[in-house]
Amino acid sequence: MNAAYLYPQLEKLEEINDKRQILWDKYHKAFEKFEANGLIRRPYIPKHCKHNAHMYFLRFKDLKTRTEFIDFMNKCNISTVFHYIPLHSSPAGLKHGRFEGNMEVTNKVSDTLVRLPLFYSLETSQQDYVIEKVSDFLNDAKH
C-alpha cells in the first residue's frame, strides 16, 4: 500500500523538489526585511550546503508572540503549527532519556518556532496570501 502511494512521488521527485525550493525561496525573500528589522529569524542555510526545502519556518522573539501569530493566522484561515516538543521534555524523553544542562537553547527554539504552509500543491495565490498575512502581522506596531 505504501509503495503504491510513494512510487508516483518518487517518479516526480525532481519536479516536487524544484517546486518546494521555489516556494521556500519566495518565503525567504519575502521575510528578509522583517529579519533585518529584528522581528523574526529565518532559516539559515550555510552557503556550502544544499537543502531539500521540506519546510519553512519563522522564529519569533518569545512564546507569547508566536502564540499571537498562530492565533492571527488561524483567524485568516491559515494553518501554522509549532514544530516540535523537545525530546528531553516529551513523555518518552522524560521516561527513557537523560541530558546535561538546562536545555535553554532547545527550549527557546521550541517556544519560538512556527512552520508556514509549504507543500507541493500550494498554489502561488495561496502562498501570496500567506505572505500577505504574515507581513500584516509583522507590520503591526505592537509586535
Secondary structure (DSSP) of 56-120: EEEE-SSHHHHHHHHHHHHHTT---EE----GGGSHHHHHH----S--HHHHHHHHHEEEEP--T
Nearest Cα to Cα of residue 27 among 15, 35, 38, 37: 35
Whether the Cβ atoms of residue 56 and residue 114 lie closer than 8 Å to each other: no
Give the predicted TM-score (pTM) of the model.
0.85
Torsion of CA 45, 47, 52, 54, to 10 degrees: 20
φ and ψ at residue 89, rounded to 5 degrees: -110, 5
Q: Where are the alpha helices (DSSP H) in 31-61?
A: 32-36
Cα–Cα distance for residue pair 14/18, rounded to 1 Å: 6
Q: What is the pLDDT of residue 114?
A: 96
pLDDT in tens, the chain (143 residues): 766 777 777 777 788 889 999 999 999 999 999 999 999 999 999 999 988 999 999 999 999 999 999 999 999 999 998 877 766 766 776 677 777 778 776 667 667 899 999 998 999 999 999 999 999 999 986 65
Q: What is the pLDDT of residue 83?
A: 73
Q: What is the pLDDT of residue 89?
A: 65
Q: What is the pLDDT of residue 117?
A: 96
Q: What is the pLDDT of residue 102?
A: 80
Beta bridge partners of 53: none
Alpha-carbon torsion (93, 94, 95, 96), positive or negative: positive
Q: What is the pLDDT of residue 126?
A: 97
Q: What is the pLDDT of residue 131?
A: 98
